[in-house]
Amino acid sequence: ALPTTCFCSFLSAVSVPAEAFYQNHGRLYSMMKGKMGPSNLHVFTGTLCKELHEHMAHLGTAGTGDLMELVRHIMYPAVVNTLFGKGACPTSHSELREFEEHFWKYDEDFEYASQMPECFLRNWSKSKKWLLKLFEKVVSDAERTNPSETTSKTLLQHLLDNLQGKHLAPNYGLLMLWASQANAVPIAFWTLVFILSYPSVYKKVMEDLTSVFGNAGKDEIEVSEEDLKNLPYIKWCTLEAIRLRSPGAITKKVIKPIRIQSFTIPAGDMLMLSPYWLHRNPKYFPDPEMFKPVRCPS
């Protein structure tokens, strides 16, 4: 893809020059796609399951709390330890609070920061600098412990091996962290919200889980790729949550003239697509405001 005004603004929000990004993009994209493609997901499932069990154990067996906070507290350390290596980023209770305050501030205003000078977002800028300083140490530790065996490397170490412009390594580390959380956390939250809000959906999900893993007990569950193939309904729940909670609009600037059917859209024009309304078109989604996972296979 060619650079657009919006995308260059995005790069400024992570302090990566456009030239450096495009110099690295093809190589890093191929590496990430290869390492995290469907054929390699089994490499991560064991570690991820273990991490999720460990951090869910901290919740106890009873009580109330904010669901978004719960999802964040569980997913952040589990995903970070899986992708960056155990202990690479702050995940202990004593260190986590300060980190979370900075990261969620960074995430919350990321979209604004991609369109406005940092001087208008002082708290966001402060959190960004704090995170980049942290990632200087994270990168230094990853480089120091980088093994020669490919199979022993973390995803961050693979990124460092393929990155041109090592001075930007902390920026790419922060970008990788943000990418691992920015979409996964909200969609996990909304999937749980919808499942819990529809008793029939919740019942079906629990029946499917029991059919694959048996009744709940004290033993930790190990999830395999084959198990996930036998749980299509949960995937449909996630896709239906994405349908209902997609962004209102996506805007792109046309760099080169493009032809769509009988129309030619000239360079310089702005294109806007509304997933919100597309996903509520009754022609394709009857009763569009309802959460109906069974519609997803069709």
- The DSSP string of 232-281 is HHHHHHHHHHHHHTS-S-EEEE-SS-EEETTEEEPTT-EEEE-HHHHTT-
List CB contacts of 222: < 8 A, sequence separation 6 or more. Answer: 46, 49
Q: In this predicted model, what pLDDT tens digit does every residue of 129-155 receive, in sequence order?
A: 999 999 999 999 999 999 999 888 999
Q: Rounded to whole angstroms, what are the CA distances from 268 to 2, 116, 224, 255, 273?
A: 13, 21, 48, 6, 16
Q: What is the pLDDT of residue 8?
A: 52
List CB contacts of 157: < 8 A, sequence separation 6 or more. Answer: 85, 142, 143, 146, 147
Q: Which CATH superfamily is domain 5-182 in?
A: Cytochrome P450 (1.10.630.10)
Q: What is the pLDDT of residue 210?
A: 94
Tens digit of each residue's pLDDT, the chain (298 residues): 333 444 555 667 788 888 888 899 889 999 999 998 888 888 888 889 999 988 888 887 777 889 998 998 899 888 888 988 887 777 667 777 888 889 889 988 887 887 777 888 899 999 999 999 999 999 999 999 999 998 889 999 999 999 999 999 999 999 999 888 888 999 999 999 999 999 999 999 999 999 999 887 777 888 888 898 999 999 999 999 999 998 878 888 888 899 989 999 998 898 888 999 999 999 999 999 999 999 877 6
Q: What is the pLDDT of residue 236?
A: 96
Q: In this predicted model, what pLDDT tens digit does every residue of 167-181 receive, in sequence order?
A: 999 999 999 998 888
Paired residues of 252 in beta bridges: 271
d(C-alpha 100, C-alpha 103), whole Å: 5
Q: What is the pLDDT of residue 127?
A: 94
Q: In this predicted model, what pLDDT tens digit does every residue of 176-224 receive, in sequence order?
A: 998 888 889 999 999 999 999 999 999 999 999 999 998 877 778 888 8
Backbone angles phi, psi at 150, to 5 degrees: -60, -40
Q: Rounded to whole angstroms, what are the CA distances from 142 to 23, 40, 93, 259?
A: 22, 22, 22, 46
Write down the domain spans for the chain: 5-182, 197-295
Paired residues of 259 in beta bridges: 264
